[in-house]
Structure 1
């Protein structure tokens, strides 16, 4: 029994030990808690259009977001237009695009957030700074020598490199003006109302450089100087423009402006007709001129009489000034006005006379109370020194011409004859038909027509009682029947009473009664010839006129000792220049000079038409070198025509003009150098 109890107790102890052994084993440790790890905050200033890359390495699932308030200015590149991106743990490149859009008044900020395990932190703060507005104004450079703005060779102008704060106008082409460049980084426009005297070509522009031709309104120029500030606005938002800069514009006082566009020397003949240099003729209308000045400027006629000067007296009445129009009513208050006027002279029956025109600006004229005293020195014989600068033109009038002996027969208007392709000259002694039995006739002339309509009145200072007409054989032939002759002499109604004027008519062609005029015989060059012999009251032959109807005739002015343009103005317009070749010039020939050859160079630089008409000594023939067809010459109305038509832009040759004895009269170097 005891034994069993012992065994039972032993078993119980062992069980208890086992239980205790089991209860004392350690429990397993729990897994550690995983927390999100956020990167440090990045703060960065970014530019418009920039793409920013953020490198992150999240330790768990993540989401990157940008706020909706920044979505107009920032975007997640890979988010397909969404405001967030998501991904798993690991290294990531987050790209954020900055809108390519500058702003001037507001900084744009984007806070990029990262969310993990329900927690969110800002990982980047991106700031696109507002842009500063810039306004710079540059003025065009002015070439004083060329009296014009400097060209850049591409149709524009050269501008300075330093911005200006103020614009001072230049006087150019009879007005105040300037050329400027407005350079901005925004769409701009001039704000406010412009003064009446300014008229820019544009008043607004886009960002970048805008050329502006700052013109002015002459009729609104102030008498005294004025300055205004032009406000340059940011006009990006047209409903709410923002002032971005100012430009001060200085308008000079116009009181000192006084310009007269007029020939510097005015010449009138005794009849009072003005010599027009461009047409090389006298005209009845007088000289045309324009005075650009404010009201109050004065134009004085100053004449010299017996050594003394007069500005306001009967002595200067022979010079007349006629204004085309009166002053505008607005001229009392402001403005520079261009007024046309005519300068003429009355007929002169006495000695040659002279004077001058003196134009005084308003500022100077206001100080003149009596021009006869104020303008001249104490002796009254000369302008005071301070007024000499205001002389705009000299005026001279010729005395009546002394009657000259023009011969027993002369052309009433030789220039008109030349214009109608005709000429009247004295015959050289012994020339045809002034020979044989006619050699003793004291006066002989040649009358040349090209067509039936050629010619003008001939004046017979010694009247004739009768005349005879002979044919092609001259004195060796017989007379024509005057009733059917192709040459007739008609009284000139205009000149008969005073000057014994007659018209010699040559008519070839159909006649209603007689068919072709009879008694004509063509010469070797196709011309028709006849000779008229005139008899005085004693029935003695005292003059003959050798009449030639030559369909190929051209009047060429006789020029001695020089070569010149027949019409310099036209030649200049077509880019032609003519210069005498002198020693030291590469084209000069000492040998030619020694032989009396005239040496000139004709240059064409324009593609408008490489053609020029020259006047030179009479020659027999001409030869072009090289002989290619690009260079040619021929006689035309008014002179010798030279034509250049090379295939390329450059060519050079020369023409030799020979006298009747085949000696060289003129060597003309011809240069074609076309420049665009």
Structure 2
């Protein structure tokens, strides 16, 4: 009996040992995690990639980088988990911790049971320096699509992922902005101007962008197609209004430019810029009475100023001697395309007569761009006489000495009556008002005085103001001579420094 009990105990013990052994084998067979081999992949910022693996037990994935996250239910998570079986997990590549010219690596670790192993190495390649020149629709310019700079100037957008500088550009352009900042939406406007001396012909070149260290990052091609057919330029564009010429036509001056006013010898050289040198020269005389009139030299008309033209944009201006009063005119030039549009009715297109007035034909401001210059030439001056002009227009009025009018007073009688024998007559039209500038010929003093008293009697017309002036060439101003005034007005002109009478002007109406 005792032996039987021991035998039973042995059987139970053996059974337990066999059961434990079998249980250990099952645990090893089902409980040891089986990890896949590590895989290496490369993904760019903004990509989403799928990871696949087989898990023989419940699992968990974790990422070592903030820029690499799992997509779980539409959200980005730093880890995710699941149950046994075939698995597909989406990973999103973000832009956190981005530095130019630096690559990043994230490790994806798989946890099963108490074990952990890296199963994926994800590399995000380095982000280099990127810069683009864009049009207004956000399209980049390339070698096959150069940025075209318009006549005079253009603007473009610059987009870059770094603080950029424009280091080089062709000598035929000028850039107003040469640097800008980076950012997620770093968009800066770049203004580019065609240099004045390069507007005529087509050109090509490159814009070179560098980073803060001065390293060249990109070059962008640019081109210019030359001056348009409907545009024209002159070397006088900076100041075209103040050109004066001496009475002999041998010297000129321009008071409107820096350092101007000095006499320079003729001829005057002028350059014209037009597409393929296709331009037409036009002469316009500006008479104080009749206004602007085109002189058609191609049909035999003549004018007092003319040009020598090499047909390549280089002209020389010549001015004839003036044997009469002061005169004015316009030298104009048109691109052929524009001239052909207006030539058949040139005067009607370019000049106008203000309705309801007696003003002469004037130049329309629409055509200022085609004026090369406005010319004024001095008139003949008689020493010891008087020069009288209309203020504002420069119209020269004819003045007669008392003797030339057939007056009965002798020289002694003139001196007795007026204080001088230097007496002049001026006849003004009726139905016209006047503001006059009177300049004694040969007067070398600094100032003039004027009055309208003759032997104690006022000889001035009502509403008229008579004053002396202090200018380079002393003159007397007579303002407010109204229409239909009758009789004579006597103006005595004296040297303001000593009171000596210079001359007397007697003004009468006629007509």
TM-score (norm 1): 0.34
Structure ID, larger Rg: 1
